[in-house]
Structure 1
């Protein structure tokens, strides 16, 4: 699994990187076939936005969240991705 983290108008610090990697480890619990994750962190005035595109075998999933705090936005974004992955996995198993 390859994780790429970029920042627009924000410097991606080591603490942000480690927080993202810890949270994305949760996604690996539910689905092992995660190929690539691209995380983009953006700051615009008072809004802090975290968005991610997850490439899994058979689909691309996207989630974003806007909050006043970057860490809360990352947590909410990962929760959204987690729900999407669980839904995809259940849908994939039901069709077989």
Structure 2
């Protein structure tokens, strides 16, 4: 699994990197068929008085890409809500994959007709 953490208009400290890696361990624990994860952390500046922290992730799985984003006033809060949303999406994808891999229902044998 490849993990890419990048920051837009933000300096990534080792503490932030470690925090994101520790939170992503929860996702890997639920579903280990992850190909790669790209996390983008940034600051949105619509105006000077209203600064919002942005966290988004692209999680590549076999045959699917899950994209989740979150906004908050605090970067750690944005990461927490992002991981919660991503966890729900991964569990939903996992149950869908498990349900579709079941055996197909066989046809019921026809009852012999009286001649």
Q: 2:37 maps to what in 1?
A: 37
Return the structure number with greater strand share: 1
Q: Report the TM-score, using the length of structure 1 for normalisation.
A: 0.96
> What is the TM-score of this pair, normalised by structure 2?
0.81
Q: Deviations over 1:28-75 (max 9, x none)?
A: 111010110000011023100000000012210010100000001001
Residue 73 of structure 2 corresponds to residue 72 of structure 1: no
The answer to whether 1:5 aligns with 2:10 is no
Higher relative contact order (CA 8 A, sep 6+): 1
Stretches of structure 2 that go unaligned for 5 or more consecutive residues are: 46-50, 102-115
Instruction: Supply the RMSD in Å over aligned alpha carbons.
Output: 0.7
* Aligned: 1:89 with 2:94: yes
- In the TM superposition, 1:17-56 aligns within 5 A as 17-45=17-45, 46-56=51-61
What CA distance in whole angstroms lies between the structure 2 residues aligned with 1:30 and 1:47? 30
Residue 38 of structure 2 aligns to a residue in which SS? strand
Aligned residues: 96
